């Protein structure tokens, strides 16, 4: 949020914001970020969610890259996307907070950042997975079906964005404006 409005900040405050971005970039552990600062990511506690982990952290570095074009920020986003491709098929529903559509939004973000159609392919495969029997059987049932973040509303946003990937944006969380 501070990167989005950095014109409002003084020079010293801007420096602090960029130092914070780099500090967070250095917290990466094997393409992911711990749910708590300083925690070690183990197999048992690793989260790959928009709300906790690489699928959400990627947006910070996307914004940073869009502002100053430093390649390490884009590289961090790309590594996040690789982790999501490996581990982002979640059992916590189809939603965007900690569900499959939230994972898949990273691929639409990477498509917009790189133009690489590989990411469209990946987003489509995740979308297909939501409609499989395997997902229906193995996934937690929804408690707030209309919720933007935990229900189907965010999933619908993702599916619509899949039809117009050039304009896709994580709901209420655009890094492109």
Which residues here bind Zn ion, judged by CB under 5 A? 51, 97-98
Q: Is 49 annotated as a binding residue?
A: no
Question: Would you call 29 helix, strand, or coil by DSSP?
Answer: strand
Minimum CB separation of residue 5 from Zn ion in Å reads 25
Minimum CB separation of residue 52 from Zn ion in Å reads 7
Q: What angle do CA 153, 158, 164 make, to 5 degrees?
A: 130
Question: Between 33 and 73, whose beta carbon lies closer to Zn ion?
Answer: 33
Q: Is 77 annotated as a binding residue?
A: no
Minimum CB separation of residue 25 from Zn ion in Å reads 22
Helix ranges restricted to H, the chain: 11-25, 54-68, 71-87, 100-114, 118-130, 133-138, 152-163
Specify the DSSP class assigned to residue 141: P
Residue 32 phi/psi, 5° resolution?
-135, 175
Residue of minimal CB distance from Zn ion? 51
Minimum CB separation of residue 96 from Zn ion in Å reads 9
Question: Between 70 and 92, whose beta carbon lies closer to Zn ion?
Answer: 92
Per DSSP, what are the bridge partners of residue 113?
none
Question: Between 63 and 98, whose beta carbon lies closer to Zn ion?
Answer: 98
Question: Between 2 and 51, whose beta carbon lies closer to Zn ion?
Answer: 51
Minimum CB separation of residue 105 from Zn ion in Å reads 13
The residue among 101, 100, 102, 95 whose CA lies nearest residue 143 is: 95
Q: Is 97 annotated as a binding residue?
A: yes
CB 54 within 8 A of CB 102: no
- Residues 64 and 75: their CA atoms lie apart, in Å, by 12
Question: Between 28 and 150, whose beta carbon lies closer to Zn ion?
Answer: 150
Which residues are annotated as part of the binding site for Zn(2+)?
A: 51, 97-98
């Amino acid at each position: 949020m501070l990167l989005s409005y950095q014109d409002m900040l003084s020079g010293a405050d801007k420096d602090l914001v960029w130092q914070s971005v780099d500090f967070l970039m250095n917290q990466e552990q094997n393409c992911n970020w711990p749910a708590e600062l300083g925690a070690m990511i183990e197999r048992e506690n690793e989260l790959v969610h928009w709300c906790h982990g690489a699928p959400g952290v990627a947006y910070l570095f996307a914004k940073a890259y869009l502002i100053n074009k430093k390649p390490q920020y884009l590289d961090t986003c790309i590594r996040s996307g690789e982790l999501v491709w490996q581990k982002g098929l979640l059992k916590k529903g189809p939603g965007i907070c900690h569900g499959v559509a939230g994972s898949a939004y990273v691929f639409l973000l990477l498509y917009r950042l790189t133009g690489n159609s590989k990411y469209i392919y990946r987003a489509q495969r995740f979308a297909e997975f939501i409609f499989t029997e395997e997902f229906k059987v193995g996934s937690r049932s929804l408690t707030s079906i209309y919720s933007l973040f935990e229900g189907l509303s965010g999933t619908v946003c993702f599916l619509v964005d899949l039809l117009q990937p050039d304009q896709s944006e994580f709901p209420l969380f655009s890094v492109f404006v």
